[in-house]
Amino acid sequence: MPKKLIDEQEIQHRIRALAEELAEVCQGELTLVVVLKGSFVFGADLLRALGRLGVDPRVEFIQLRSYRGGRQAGKLEVVGVLPEAPLGSVLLVDDIADTGRSLEVARDLLEPLSATVRTCVLLDKPGGRTVDIQPDFIGFTIDDAFVVGYGLDDDEHQRQHSFIGTVT
Ligand code: IMP
Ligand code: MG
């Protein structure tokens, strides 16, 4: 079992606060673009938290794949097709910003299809950054450790936990 870093209650509490922030800022038509696979759990909870505040966004998905699996990041490619333009005001939802490469790639892909793109990550590991990108909305800032659970995987496993934990 992973060692617990952020428990279920803390995650849910933070998501409610994030949704309140987002509902203030993202007025009007909104499209959540959820980055698969790691963000599917966060995306679902964020959508429902927004819904409870009366926000009714559209939802699209994009999937990025790294050539190398496991914990090593390789060259990034898009899997499948991109959502159809125009997407209007977009909130790009990702699980974690580490090097920042996937957030940057996803943002650059969506920008030509959207009026505006804002970025929202559940977790930020600023210590891992290799590209100059700062998410607009952050759930938790964490130290540079490999984390799993709440959708995040270690070689396709450990996504099922309702908490976020570290593995060694
Ligand atoms: P990037 O390095 O910011 O491009 O992060 C790329 C992707 O690697 C993230 O969207 C996650 O899917 C994955 N990733 C980065 N750090 C972790 C981690 O600590 N645990 C699980 N997946 C991670
Ligand atoms: Mg990801």
Residue ranges covered by each domain of the chain: 3-67+75-166
Pick among 3.30.450.20, 3.40.50.300, 3.40.50.2020, 3.30.1360.20: CATH of 3-67+75-166:
3.40.50.2020
Length of the chain, in residues: 168
Q: State in Å: Cα 59 to ligand 1 middle.
A: 22
**Is the bond leading into 3 cis (omega within 30 degrees of zero)?**
no
What per-residue confidence (pLDDT) applies to 68? 58
pLDDT of residue 46 exceeding 90, the answer is yes
User: For residues 121 and 72, which has the higher predicted lDDT (pLDDT)?
Assistant: 121
Q: CB-based contacts of 166: which residues, under 8 Å, 6+ apart? A: 2, 3, 5, 145, 146, 147, 148
Ligand 1 atom nearest 128 alpha carbon:
2
Q: Which helix (H) or strand (E) holds 108?
A: helix 101-110
Atom 15 of ligand 1, nearest CA residue = 98
Residue 70 banded pLDDT, cuts 50, 70, 90: low
Percent of the chain with pLDDT over 70: 96
Average pLDDT in the 117-134 region? 97
Q: Which of 98, 108, 120, 124 to mutate to test the pocket of ligand 1 (most atoms within 8 A of CB)?
A: 98
Q: State in Å: Cα 116 to ligand 2 middle.
A: 21
Average pLDDT in the 88-92 region? 97
Q: Which of 5, 64, 95, 130 to mutate to test the pocket of ligand 1 (most atoms within 8 A of CB)?
A: 95
Predicted TM-score (pTM) of this structure: 0.95
Q: State in Å: Cα 123 to ligand 1 middle.
A: 9
pLDDT of residue 72 exceeding 80, the answer is no
Beta bridge partners of 90: 31, 117
